Amino acid sequence: MSEPRRSKVRKLLGRDARLWKVAKASYSAGLRLNRRLVLATTWKSKRDLLALQSGGLQVQLGGGDRGIAGMLNIDARMTRAADMVADCSRLGRFDDSSLTMIFSNAFFEHLYRQQQLPLLQDCFRTLKPGGLLLFLGIPDFESVCREYLAANSGTIADYSRLEWAYRYTHGDPEQFPEWWSKQLHKSLFDSDELAALARSAGFAAVMVFRYWYPGETWPVNLGLCAGSSVSEAVVRQLLERFGEYVDVTTVDVIPSVGKS
Ligand SMILES: C[S@@+](CC[C@H](N)C(=O)[O-])C[C@H]1O[C@@H](n2cnc3c(N)ncnc32)[C@H](O)[C@@H]1O
């Protein structure tokens, strides 16, 4: 890292490290409003710091309580992992060609249908050349129907077969009454729909894959990877970083949607 960069990083760290500590402490103490205020003043510094440290900014949309190190973690709710509290259905706060990765898990299906294409267009606009979009954990309606009709029994806690289908199609929002509407799935997807949306947004290379979530025995999750150039090898290598979300041994790239 060059000296001017190093001194920028030192400056950002010096000023905001104390604020971040206050933010974390206030959350632990239950002072959520304080933390919201602190985040409103610190997210830009964290953004600049991450961009400098990792050679480009990576963001996580709808990260909930699961923060990812090295990414700017954003959620509509003030969660313990959030670096920024914002509606992720648009990325208006980010400049053109300013991001190297846009990641989400179990988020895209929480948007209304009319919000999907505008968000993907924003992703296309904000990604740098060579940058990648990776959306995981999107329930595959086709597979959910297939498994339901085959009367397979799943390995998700004590869910009955119908409750299990509801978990995937609707998100089982009743488990989180205080943020029911954010948890509700507002859309259904299959692989064709996902790929068509990404292409309409402008992405030249689009891959969709099906996989099992770790510990589950259902191939009902879809992943979408898009960029200017995406190969199966790139996707598989990328997924190694996200083993917490994907049983990588089960990844099955859907060949038909790989074609333009
Ligand atoms: C099922 S949770 C997934 C959380 C996390 N990504 C994970 O893998 O556990 C969906 C998350 O999306 C967030 N969310 C829903 N709609 C959102 C929106 N429009 N903007 C930002 N976050 C949103 C919710 O608050 C929630 O934290």
Domain ranges of the chain: 89-258
What tens digit of pLDDT does each residue of 173-221 get?
999 999 999 999 999 999 999 999 999 999 999 999 999 999 888 789 9
The minimum-distance atom of ligand 1 relative to the CA of 182 is 15
Is the shortest distance between the CB of 77 and ligand 1 below 6 Å? yes
Is the shortest distance between the CB of 76 and ligand 1 below 6 Å? yes
Residue with tokens 């799935």: 185
Share of the chain above pLDDT 90, in %: 67
Tokens of 224: 């979408």
Measured distance CA(63)–CA(65) in Å, rounded: 6
Average of pLDDT values for 59-79? 96
10 Å Cβ neighbour count for 213? 20
Determine the pLDDT at residue 83.
94
What tens digit of pLDDT does each residue of 76-98 get?
999 999 999 999 999 999 999 99
Determine the pLDDT at residue 15.
60
The minimum-distance atom of ligand 1 relative to the CA of 136 is 8
Is the shortest distance between the CB of 66 and ligand 1 below 6 Å? yes
Is the shortest distance between the CB of 62 and ligand 1 below 6 Å? yes
Is the shortest distance between the CB of 167 and ligand 1 below 6 Å? no
Determine the pLDDT at residue 260.
43
Least confident range of 7-11, 59-63, 71-75: 7-11
Measured distance CA(65)–CA(81) in Å, rounded: 5
Query: 113-126 and 191-200 helices cross at what angle (nearest 10)?
Result: 50
Quote the pTM value: 0.88
CATH of 89-258, one of 3.40.50, 3.40.390, 1.10.10, 3.30.2030: 3.40.50
CA 203-240-93 angle, to 5 degrees, is 45
Determine the pLDDT at residue 203.
97
The minimum-distance atom of ligand 1 relative to the CA of 88 is 20
Query: 3-28 and 32-53 helices cross at what angle (nearest 10)?
Result: 160
Residue with tokens 């959620």: 75
Measured distance CA(120)–CA(30) in Å, rounded: 35
What tens digit of pLDDT does each residue of 136-183 get?
999 999 999 988 888 765 555 567 788 888 999 999 999 999 999 999
What tens digit of pLDDT does each residue of 6-44 get?
676 666 666 666 666 666 666 555 555 577 777 887 888
> What are the strands of the beta sheet with 127-139, ordered from one edge?
84-85, 72-75, 57-61, 99-105, 127-139, 221-227, 205-211, 252-253
Burial state string for 105-121 with b = 16 or more CB within 10 A and e = fewer than 16: bbbbbbbeeebbeebbb
Is the shortest distance between the CB of 109 and ligand 1 below 6 Å? no
In one letter, which amino acid is 175?
Q
Determine the pLDDT at residue 32.
58
- The answer to whether the CB of 68 falls within 8 A of the CB of 60 is yes
Determine the pLDDT at residue 153.
57
Determine the pLDDT at residue 181.
95
- The answer to whether the CB of 244 falls within 8 A of the CB of 251 is no
User: Which of 84, 93, 110 best tests ligand 1's pocket when mutated (most atoms within 8 Å of CB)?
Assistant: 110
Determine the pLDDT at residue 111.
98
Burial of 248 (0-12, 13-18, 19+ CB in 10 A): middle
Is the shortest distance between the CB of 139 and ligand 1 below 6 Å? no
Is the shortest distance between the CB of 63 and ligand 1 below 6 Å? yes
Reply yes or no on whether the pLDDT at 259 is more than 60: no
